[in-house]
Amino acid sequence: MRFKDWATRVLLISLMFMALIIVLLIGRATKLQNNPTISDTSNTSNPQVTAWSHYPQAELQSAKEPEKKSQDVIKSPVKTNKPVARYVTTQAFAQYRPNYQVVAVNPTNYGERYAQDVNGLPLTNQPIIVLHETGYSASSAINFFQVAHDDESVQASYHALIKLDGTVVYLVPPDKRAFGAANSVFDSPDGVETVKTNPNLPPSVNNFAYHVSLETPPDGYDASSQQSHSGYTEAQYNSLAWLIAQSQVPDDRITTHKLVDRSSKKVDPINFDGNKFLDLLNTYRQVRPIYRVSK
């Protein structure tokens, strides 16, 4: 074979390889464009990408509890043919896309959910949601949660926090016990509910609570009344309702820090419009009946 013919064949083969490489690179670029990797969760408008695992699931008890029945429905007390129901999100929910962040909290500021209390009795409390406010800026609260605290009386955290602009900040995973309400009791239609998990501390609702806090407006720092507190933004109400809409926690088990507190010191969230929140919540989720045949 002459050198000229050999060189021509080598050149053609090289060109074919180069064309193949270009096609592969174009294909990969297209794939990345259609499936972007989120490198900065603080500036994305699609929270369903990573946020679902940080959500308030209906089953908020310890995952270690053996043979635990699913709580993904509103349970009927007896086996009948009457319908039970579950919440489903609406089109309005799908259209609302708040920004979000996922922020790590120091492990000293949260713990595991217990399957038994200090006396060894099994815990069967249905989950509740407790609403708070930060008292100061969102950044000050987050900074506090990220610092290690050895003193148990100082340790604190929320599961989620909603900034003034509506950004949802996921802090403690829902399967963990956030330290949001120290000395606390939930007054349910079936009686008072509280759990003592530490013999050295008062009982609290933390073991079966999902804690969500609203960032306090600047004019509300150190406020103790509605007159000196401007309330919360429309974005905060929408993001709060959007957040809670994804849970199976019924309306009558959503409460506030003020209502569960037994220290007589907590008054948050101040100037909270409960009717506005419930109207938005009912916009973002609806009850769907489920019929079961009795056995």
pLDDT digits (tens, 9 = 90+) for 149-194: 999 889 999 999 999 999 999 999 999 999 999 999 999 988 999 9
For residues 136 and 221, is the Cβ–Cβ distance under 8 A? yes
Whole-number pLDDT of residue 246: 93
Strands 176-178, 110-112: pairing is antiparallel
Q: Which residue matches tokens 């990220």?
A: 146
Strands 160-162, 191-193: pairing is unpaired
Q: What percent of the chain has pLDDT over 70?
A: 69
pLDDT at 124 over 50: yes
For residues 83 and 95, is the Cβ–Cβ distance under 8 A? no
Residue 295: pLDDT band (50, 70, 90) is low
Handedness of CA 252, 254, 260, 265 (dihedral sign): negative
Is pTM beyond 0.85? Reply is: no
Whole-number pLDDT of residue 72: 33
